[in-house]
Amino acid sequence: MPFVKEKFKVKEKTIAFLYVMRTLNFTQAQAQRHIAKGRLISHGKPMTHTGATIEGDIEMIFFRPKGRDIHPTFQNNDFMIFEKPSGVLVHPNTMTTSYSMLDDIRSIAGDSANATHRIDMETSGLLLASKHKKAEHYLKNLFEQRMIKKSYLAWVDGKLTKPFVSTEPIKVNQNGYDETKHKVLIAKDGKASHTEFFPLKYDETLDVSLVACYPHTGRLHQIRIHLFHVKHPILGDPIYGSSFAASDAYLDMVQSEEERLIQHGAPRLMLHAQSLEFTYGNRFYIESKVDFVSQKSLIVPKHLRAFNRQ
């Protein structure tokens, strides 16, 4: 379990954040944030005042990485590139998350290492991680300034023959009660979004197309909603292209493997982060070594799938 609770004995009265810094090898900012989140427990109660003193028996909750030997395909002194498998979170979403890519990132490079961008759990492919805080700030700023070029590959429903561009604005749905609560929306009052799409091949038997996707903005579910909007949703997408009931069953983790295949068309989201291009001193162009094209074999035959374009 990555988050653990351990007991410690503080022999002499000590300022709380200093003790956390020394014990967990944290920076002052990390230690203060750790305490502010209630992860230092004294006399049975979480502390929140970082400058308070502690003495005697305490408990601390902290992240202890437990990697699964996913090694970077490239690394230098500042950053690492991983091939993230589909179905794996980048960061733990709760304190009970049993594994995320952060486990391997920090097992390799220590507590200051971190993923620098977001990839959906079911998306596979290239993940860029920093080895220290200076690199993290620099790389995250590159993403924010749109100075890192990304490309994706996707297997989508139906036949696409011509390149196209989508600039449909995207809005996060704030209504937690209606049947679109799981989705982002195309809406006039949404945020500006821009994706280019280039069809690469078509499989007539499956009625699916392989598409190269180039997002110029980084909105939540951007590629997924833009393809869904033109009625060519990504195969295996448990949110876009399937019924509300099927999406609900998936999110509630009560959907069987067979239902997943029939309702969504594949056992995983058929979206893959294929390349990254950026400048960090030198110019880097890194391409995924995974043969994503061959994963077409995971797609359910058209006559067996309930996946649709509505």
Question: Is 42 found in the same domain as 163?
Answer: no
The C-alpha angle with vertex 308 and arms to 306 and 310, in degrees rounded to 5, equals: 140
pTM: 0.88
Cα 241 to Cα 100, 231, 305, 308: the distances in Å are 27, 8, 11, 5
Same domain, 185 and 259: yes
What is the number of other CB atoms lying within 10 angstroms of the CB of residue 184? 22
Number of Cβ atoms within 10 Å of the Cβ of 98:
10
> Does residue 189 carry a catalytic annotation?
no
Residues 137 and 158 in one domain: no
pLDDT of the chain along its 310 residues, tens only? 578 888 999 999 999 999 999 998 888 988 999 999 999 999 889 988 888 899 999 999 988 899 999 999 999 999 999 999 999 999 998 878 889 999 999 999 998 899 999 999 999 999 999 999 999 999 999 999 999 999 999 999 999 999 999 999 999 887 655 555 678 999 999 999 999 999 999 999 999 999 999 999 999 999 999 999 999 999 999 999 888 889 889 988 899 999 999 999 999 999 999 999 999 999 999 999 999 999 999 999 999 988 765 5
The total domain count for the chain is 3
Determine how β-strand 124-130 pairs with β-strand 271-280: parallel
- Of the candidates 132, 77, 80, 70, the one whose C-alpha atom is nearest the C-alpha of residue 276 is 80
Strand residue runs (E) in 191-309? 195-203, 208-215, 271-280, 282-287
Whole-angstrom distance, CA of residue 111 vs CA of residue 204: 49
Say if residue 153 is in the same domain as residue 298. Answer: yes
Domain boundary, last residue among 128, 144, 160: 144
Single-letter code of the amino acid located at 133: K
Active-site residue (options: 103, 104, 120, 157):
120
- Cα 91 to the chain's mean position, in Å? 7
Q: Range of 109's domain?
A: 74-144
- Boundary residue ending a domain (144, 163, 193): 144
* C-alpha to C-alpha distance for 147 and 106, rounded to whole angstroms: 25
280 and 235 share one domain? yes
Chain center to CA of 87: 10
Residue 305 one-letter amino acid: R
